Amino acid sequence: MGKVFGKLKKSNNIKLTYFDFTGRAEVSRIILTYAGVKFTDERITDLAAIKEKLPFGQLPVLYYKGVQISQSMAIARFLANEFKLAGRNNLERAQADEIVDALVDLFNKGFEVMFSQGSAEETQKLRKEYHRTVDTELEKLERRLETRGGQFFAGNALTWADIQFFCAVDFLRMMESTAVEKYPLLADLNKRIGEIPNIKQWMETRPQGGH
């Protein structure tokens, strides 16, 4: 059973299915939460039980008004477009997508560390290398944010790129990195996103299943 979140004026029939951690679904959960729509946050523990019913045999999957959508970034991008967080024109959409892609690369490198099958020593070495990568990438993102006015990553307005960044900082904390604090524009953006009422409430009340 999934937990229902959000306040909605009409029924939207939205369900997001993923594991009981943040991972590749959190940006979509936060987009839905920010938009104030009611959705079922279904968290499963047994992928094998539903794998054959999934389009690509993996999660997350979004059920939206009777239509099933797979692939994490396709889901998040669809929701960003649906709730006016993708950018106001093609240029802004490209700018937002650019940042999202850069952050996905950072997530993927972090997952390699998280799910490393190596020895404790090898994993610790990977973690140190990852922290160096984080510093390098955050410096690039700080410069990018500065060139775009210092407030948001695209169009001087909130987009899903900013929400993806907020999720990335959450992930980095779990990876024992506080590097974002060294970059004032990024740190300020993260703080402002976290203070948006719907997002703040989500962070305070979301299931604590980990990352």
- CA distances for 122 relative to 68, 90, 127, 156, 173, angstroms: 40, 43, 9, 42, 21
Note whether 18 and 54 are within 8 A (CB): no
- Binned at pLDDT 50, 70 and 90, residue 27 comes out as very high
The per-residue pLDDT of the chain, averaged, comes to 91
Whole-number pLDDT of residue 200:
97
CB atoms within 10 A of CB 117: 6
pLDDT, tens digit, 9 for 90 and up, residues 123-156: 888 888 888 999 999 999 999 999 999 999 999 9
Distance CA 152, CA 163 (A): 10
- pLDDT of 194 above 60: yes
Q: What is the pLDDT of residue 123?
A: 81
What is the share, in percent, of the chain residues with pLDDT greater than 90?
A: 76
Q: Which residue(s) pair with 39 in the sheet?
A: 5
- Is 64 in contact with 31 (CB distance < 8 Å)? no
CA distance 95 to 93: 5
Question: For residue 1, what are its two tokens?
Answer: 């059973």
Higher pLDDT: 39 or 114? It is: 39
pLDDT at 11: 40
Alpha helices in the chain (DSSP H): 26-35, 72-82, 90-114, 120-147, 160-174, 184-194, 197-205
Least confident of 122-126, 178-182, 184-188: 122-126
Of 2-16, 41-55, 73-87, 93-107, minimum mean pLDDT range: 2-16
d(C-alpha 13, C-alpha 21), whole Å: 22
